[in-house]
Amino acid sequence: MKKIISKINTLIDIIITYPIYIISFLFPKNKKIWVFIGWHLTEHNKGEIFADNTKYLFLYTSQNEKNIKSIWLAKNRELAKKLNELGYISYYDKSFKGIYYALRAKYTIIDAYLQRQNFRYTGKSKIIQLLHGKGMKKGGYAKKILRHNDYIFTTSEFVSNLLPKKFTKKSKIFITGYPRDDIFFSTKIKNIEFGTDQTNLKNVQNIKKDDDSKCLLYAPTFRRSMKNFDLKSILNLQNWLSENKYYLFISLHSKYRIQKRLKNTENIFFIEDCDITPLLKHFDILITDYSSIFTDFLLTNKPIIFYPFDLEEYQKTEGLCFNYEKYTPGPKVLNIEELKSAIDKIFTLDNYQLERREIKNLYHKYTDGNFSKRIIETIKKEDKLDF
């Protein structure tokens, strides 16, 4: 019965969306009103995580562009309340004010797909697409979109060319860098840690006080063919980690966090639903497989180990944009023993520095920490904004 009701509600939502969208064209747009929309939801969609590129561009414009009325349209009232308490402007996106400003905004800033509940108010509003990231997965941004993106901001020509043609159709593409990556270069942005896992931020900061201790991040990506992520082999590392003064932090894809959470141990910590970007610079090594997180981590100039234990199967079921070996600058391991060996070796001798630099330059045209600033300047220049 619940599924039937859900489908009926979805159908009604679709039916009313397009008439509202047409009506939204009647509302005059204000070039000084910019609305920012996130997409990260917590387990069971109970709340919203303040994260990703929209978060960082929102913080930048709120703090540096006083002539722009920057508004975060929150997916729940709690986030809107917290942002207001911090001194920012935020409204629940289904509230009267949330809908009003969505209808009046000349610019609608997103970093993933524009969702139906927000799309319906965007008539004559320019869609500014910041992207969640584009690594190596063939399926990224391949789904049908509700309307074209007016401006798309990427990190390099290489990344721009990876985007599907139907996603970039009728769009202007600009190479600027991602707003979230500003934090690897600048400490001027306030409130960047709001939205992150505060407990594990303190854990990693305390561990790093001991120069001999090393913090490792394991961030495997989502697999459609795998309902639950098997962590048995990783968890069996507990004794080995302790012996070597290694601390392993595990960040599961949000779709795996609904599985039963295993408890933290002395050397293994699970990162909760959060904005992980403020944590990245504290880790000594990233361990991943096909996740685009490695492209951000390249900016830290720290080692990356690739653990594609199911490479052949993943290539068949999901698909990759390019040759895996060629564009992954680090050792490739296929089992836990190889992983242990690679970790020990890379701390002794890092032979991948040149390779990482080459791939970093491929993914990032700019490495100056002016990514948010460059985006704002680009929009102002393109639209001849005089403020």
Answer whether CATH 3.40.50.12580 is correct for domain 198-363: yes
Residues in the chain with pLDDT values less than 50 = none
Q: State the CATH architecture for 2-186+369-383.
A: 3-Layer(aba) Sandwich (3.40)
CB 324 within 8 A of CB 221: no
Question: Does the fold of domain 198-363 match that of domain 2-186+369-383?
Answer: yes
Q: Following DSSP, what letter does each residue of 38-68 receive, concatenated?
A: ---B-GGG-SB---HHHHHHHHHHHHH-TTS
pLDDT of residue 42: 73
pLDDT of residue 314: 87
CB 141 within 8 A of CB 64: no
Task: Give the span between the Cα atoms of 316 and 311, in whole angstroms.
Answer: 9
pLDDT of residue 93: 96
Tens digit of pLDDT for each residue in 192-218? 999 999 999 999 999 999 989 999 999
Tens digit of pLDDT for each residue in 226-275? 777 778 888 889 999 999 999 999 998 766 665 556 678 889 999 988 99
pLDDT of residue 89: 98
pLDDT of residue 258: 58
Q: Where are the chain's structural domains? A: 2-186+369-383, 198-363
Task: Give the span between the Cα atoms of 148 and 146, in whole angstroms.
Answer: 7
